[in-house]
A and B are shown apart, each in its own frame.
Chain A
Amino acid sequence: MDLIGLFPTWYEPAIGSGWVIGLIATIHVLFSHTAVGAAILFAVLAWIGARDNRPELIDFIKKYGLFLLVFSYILGSITGPGIWYSTTVGSPRGISALIHNFVWKWATEWVFFVIEVIGVYMLVYLAGKLERRTYMKVAVIFGLTSYTTMLAIVGILSFMMMPGRPEQWFAEGGYLYGFYGPNTFAQLMIRTAFMFTMTAVVGGIVAAGLKDEVFKRWLLKRLAIVGGLSAIVGMSLYPWYLGTLPSIAHLVMENRLPDYFTPSILIVLGAMLAYFAMTFFRPKLVTATVAGFATLAILVLGLWPGETVRESVRKPYIAGQYLYSNQVIGHDVPGMGVKSEIPTLEKVGFTHAHVFWPDSQKEITRENTMEVGRNLAITACSNCHSLSDTGIRPLKNYFPKQADVEGIRTYLLGALATGNTMYMPQIPLQDDEAEALAVFIASLNDPEAAEAYLDGETTALLDTSSREEDQ
């Protein structure tokens, strides 16, 4: 039987599943990066506090830790699995690829999560109870453990773009070649830098509330230095990161990113540096509200575009440069025993290969054409293209309003089915499938014309003899 393991598709017409995933992921990045940066900051402060006998530093850890407990360890630990949940429903085979490659890495990271959660509670609730050196030891364990969670996840994020060593992974498979590559380390360094930037900004919310003015000034100045330097280091690492991306990612960046992207990122960086300069020179101006706005600005103007770009430049793949964003396996991976599903689709089409395809629509008729076209669009297109007027990259906007069914069908069979459209997956379609999809796409801009086409004499439908012969 020629089956491919496509799951049902979740299609969300208003904003699209991609944006739901992106929204949750972006929020999680803020929580998690802040948590890791703060944990390392805690370790340093606890060390200074123990060495110099400065109880006010321990008090700060307690206050920031309590804030962090909710901000990062509650919300962060919900949105973390939340990314799993959202990708499970938005891209089940995408998350499956990551899980099946890196299940042990995630399990290892889970061990560190458990330690982290115990650690943060101890830092908050046993401050002043533990003698100084023990408290410092707990803080050091907490800091090191938090950083290992970043180490554990970054290779998986990198694999979403491409395997660490693509040639070796495709040929030999294995965890190491999938996880580690130049992109892994470039991404790790950038994330490490920006993690401190976020920590410095979020830390300002708590520091602003400190009563002891002398200590508050001391702390805010150091947060400003940490934040400013890490922002500069992070940006200066960007060319290294770009150099590790595959050529297709550069192509997408050159052609697909909006013109305002680079200037806006530079403006955000400039604004952050200005904020840190203000924190350093005029710490009195830093209030919880101001620091809160700065956090929001990082989230909306920094993290969201950054995550959007990371998402865009790996198209047409969703993971490992073998799995297309529409869930179809587009390339063989001999090292892992994975076969491309393109030949199966070329042979029998989605209607016969898709496990969940309704039996009543396996044969395309004039009556069910529109419905089959809609189902094909949901299956093969909706992961990246909204089928409505709103949401992510509306499909209708990619075809001229006056495009007729025949023209669309010709494009689908000539360019899309053969894999000759830049940053689009190869989507093999049988002749009748292409026609059904073309009718549906045409209906998005002009429903009446599509209906008229179906009512007319010129359809090329119902000719499924060639496929039957193949079978």
Chain B
Amino acid sequence: MDTAMLYALRDPLGIPAHPLIFLILGVATWALHIAAVHVLLGSSVLAIRGALSKDDHWRRLADAMVNTAKVAVSVAIVIGVAPLLFVQVIYDPFWYTSNVLSAWWVIGFIFILIVATLALFIFYALNHGLRTHKTRCPGSMILAVLLFLVVGFIMHALSVQMLEPDQWKEWYAPNGVIDASGRSIHAFDPWRFGFFIALSIPVIGIWLFGYRRYLQGRHEAGTGYLDFLKRMGTRLGAVGTLVALVLLVGWMRGLPEDIAGFATGIWPIAAAAALIVAAAFPVLLGRRLDRGLWGYTPILVATVAMIVIATMREAVRWVTLSGVHGYNPLDYKITMDWYSTGLFFLTFGVLGGAVVTYLLTVAWQAGQTEGTYTPSRAVNRIGTAGIVLLLLWIAQYFGFGLWTAYA
């Protein structure tokens, strides 16, 4: 598959803004998505471990982690929509080809994810109050985790297949005979897959520090449980980082010959450093961990680390597609559309910013409050502003729409 063929596969419509914007949005939203996936996997495994234990701390942790997993699966799915959108915009030749060549797996992804999510919710529904009640049907949660790994593997394979355009024609028409069945997975890299899955361990470890800080705000957890969480978080952070780094080295060592130099470049080192800093940060905070809002900062640092790791992942794609195959996503034809571009950023930054700030503030403060929660006047104003912005959005929709449709 030569460069001209790759460019022929681009959509001739072009894109409505500079490709760099889509590249950045793709990386940033993927980082948030994979972080949510890590929390989902990590909390699910801790929930299973705790649900099978008789230890009071473990059972209490399991109770909390089931609730975390339940929310994390929704967050992972909804945030995952964004990178899925942006990859199609500038990497359409690669994404679409990879998907079609494994079509049955792509369709399977949907149904497997549905079954996995339902299995998780079944476990949640059957196990209210794990701390004091017997565990029911742990198999459903185990099934959920296994199926989440399967859908993760499918996404992984699609991402790897994207990077091998030299193989595409042979995969589609082995020995010149077209196989349009889409039943095969054609390429995968166990080291790379293992690395991204193993990141769940340090990420959930860091998450436990945030959970610990949240409990401190509610003044309802004893020091024994808080210490348990601290020990657990530290241990998971350290062990998980080590495991992830070993797998990262394995991935880098196995890179194809034509991009082997990437392994000793700046990006793998930056990713490893970011991961180590994120895992060590709660320890570095020392006593400050228990003061003010410092207890939440490990999550912020981990988010930055995930963005660095996501950038490294993007860099691998870049050196492969641009460096080896001559495809430059940044020279995509631009058919500039100011209205829809501006509307997105206003919706994202202003409307979304106001409404999400309001909702998360209310949710967090309500969780920290005993009895009925009443927001402050300032918080109320943000909520009112959010409603006004939503009404303005709807008004502009009909204003521009009716004018365009009937003028």
Contact = CB atoms under 8 A, between A and B. Distances in A.
**Chain B interface SS verdict (over half):** helix
A184 B387 contact: no
B176 interface: yes
Given A74-B73, A80-B81, A185-B402, A104 B344 contact: yes
A85 B74 contact: no
B28 to A, nearest CB: 12
25 contacts: A5-B93, A17-B103, A74-B118, A80-B81, A86-B106, A88-B95, A89-B103, A100-B11, A103-B22, A104-B340, A107-B82, A110-B85, A111-B348, A114-B78, A118-B363, A134-B373, A138-B362, A141-B390, A164-B405, A179-B401, A185-B402, A185-B405, A336-B12, A358-B173, A358-B177
Nearest to A181: B405
Contact of B10 (A5, A360, A374): A5
Interface string B1-20: 10011001111111111000
B387 A371 contact: no
A7 B171 CA distance: 13
Contact of A5 (B8, B110, B182, B355): B8
Given A131-B374, A140-B387, A74 B74 contact: yes
A105 B121 CA distance: 31
B22 A115 contact: no
Interface string A450-469: 00000000000000000000
B176 A361 contact: yes
Given A78-B114, A115-B355, A121 B81 contact: no
Contact of B372 (A11, A121, A129): A129
B121 A85 contact: no
A70 interface: yes
A112 B343 CA distance: 13
Interface stretch (B210-218, B293-301, B392-400): B392-400
B180 A144 contact: no
A337 B109 contact: no
A175 B99 CA distance: 27
Contact of B169 (A85, A107, A165, A358): A358
B394 A89 contact: no
A130 B375 CA distance: 9
B75 interface: yes
A148 B343 CA distance: 13
A440 B74 CA distance: 48
Contact of A85 (B15, B75, B107, B356): B107
Contacts of B397: 148, 151
B373 A121 contact: no
Contacts of B1: 355
A214 interface: no
Interface in A53-74: 69-70, 73-74
A165 B405 contact: yes
Contact of A185 (B81, B89, B401): B401
A20 interface: yes
Nearest to A173: B335
B71 interface: yes
Contact of B99 (A85, A99, A119): A85
A12 B181 CA distance: 6
Interface of B: 1, 4-5, 8-17, 22, 25, 71, 73-75, 77-82, 84-86, 88-89, 92-93, 95-97, 99-101, 103, 106-107, 109-110, 113-114, 117-118, 121, 168-169, 172-173, 176-178, 180-182, 333, 335, 337, 339-341, 343-344, 347-348, 351-352, 355-356, 358-360, 362-363, 366, 372-375, 380, 383-384, 386-387, 390-391, 393-394, 397, 400-402, 404-406
Contacts of B107: 20, 85-86, 89
Q: Which of A4, A106, A338 has the most C-beta atoms of chain B within 10 angstroms of its own C-beta?
A: A106
Given A100-B13, A338-B12, 17 more contacts: A8-B100, A8-B172, A10-B103, A12-B182, A74-B118, A75-B114, A85-B110, A89-B106, A96-B13, A104-B337, A110-B81, A115-B355, A122-B359, A134-B375, A137-B383, A336-B12, A336-B335
A85 B109 contact: yes
Interface in A142-186: 144-145, 147-148, 151, 155, 164-165, 173-177, 179-182, 184-185
A175 B394 contact: no
Contacts of B341: 104
A176 B73 CA distance: 35
A105 B341 CA distance: 9
Nearest to B176: A360
Interface in A345-402: 355-356, 358-361, 371, 374-375, 378, 382
A182 B406 contact: yes
A145 B355 contact: yes
A82 interface: yes
A90 B73 CA distance: 27
A176 B403 CA distance: 10
A174 to B, nearest CB: 6
